[in-house]
A and B are shown apart, each in its own frame.
Chain A
Amino acid sequence: DTPEGNKDEL
């Protein structure tokens, strides 16, 4: 799991 934010959100 990569430490990413809600990158699918706008």
Chain B
Amino acid sequence: MNIFRFFGDISHLASIFILIHKIHTSRSCRGISFKTQVLYVAVFVTRYLDLLYSWVSLYNFVMKVFFIASSCYILYLMKVRFRPTNDPSIDTFRVEYLVGPCAVLALIFNYGYAVTEVLWSFSIFLESVAILPQLFMLQRTGEAETITTHYLAALGAYRTLYIPNWIYRYFSEGYVDPIAVTAGLVQTGLYLDFFYVYFTKVLQGQKFELPA
């Protein structure tokens, strides 16, 4: 554990709390892609299967359980509690274009042909693109509530902080995980456009609006 990874994880936690807070206070999940949230549940469940057979640390255990539970809770909020505020007609990204290629990549690139290893790889690849339905929705509507942009910024910060974490680990442990690093770089790259608008507009007090 190093400071980059720690703050990355804290940022990830924060993003989830921001999202739940947004849904509760506005009593609405407007602007949130249900598809992205479903993909996150798939990511956490397939990656954290090792909860059942390996122990890393209490920190690791608590975080994994939290990520699975909170992502399922968000689905509940969107599909049950605040269902009328969820508009599937603007959440149109085709997730099969993400899940299929990720499954193929996981079969090719993994650290061993065991079900758990392939699913772990799959979760890494899927996480790297899981935000796309959300970003696509943002692109379509052209604007977002400020709180939704804070959610995305915290999520993007988490991925960004994992990069110095890997650099740190390379120098301190001489260790590189090529699958995680490659997927992580792609994932962080997807946020670049968003970050640009977030820093130049939202943090200057303006509304998040994309140029027409």
Contacts and interface: CB of A to CB of B under 8 A. Distances in A.
B14 to A, nearest CB: 14
B50 interface: yes
B67 A9 contact: no
Contacts of B162: 9
By secondary structure, the B interface counts as helix
Contacts of A5: 111, 120-121, 124, 177, 179-180
Interface stretch (B34-42, B56-64, B130-138): B56-64
A9 B5 contact: yes
Interface residues of A, number: 8
Nearest to B178: A5
Contacts of A6: 169, 175, 177, 180
A10 to B, nearest CB: 5
Interface string A1-10: 0011111111
B143 interface: no
20 contacts: A3-B111, A3-B112, A5-B120, A5-B121, A5-B177, A5-B179, A5-B180, A6-B169, A6-B177, A6-B180, A7-B50, A7-B54, A7-B56, A7-B120, A8-B56, A9-B162, A9-B165, A9-B180, A10-B63, A10-B67
Interface of A: 3-10
Given A8-B57, A10-B9, 18 more contacts: A3-B111, A3-B112, A5-B120, A5-B121, A5-B179, A5-B180, A6-B175, A6-B177, A6-B180, A7-B54, A7-B56, A8-B56, A9-B5, A9-B162, A10-B60, A10-B63, A10-B64, A10-B67
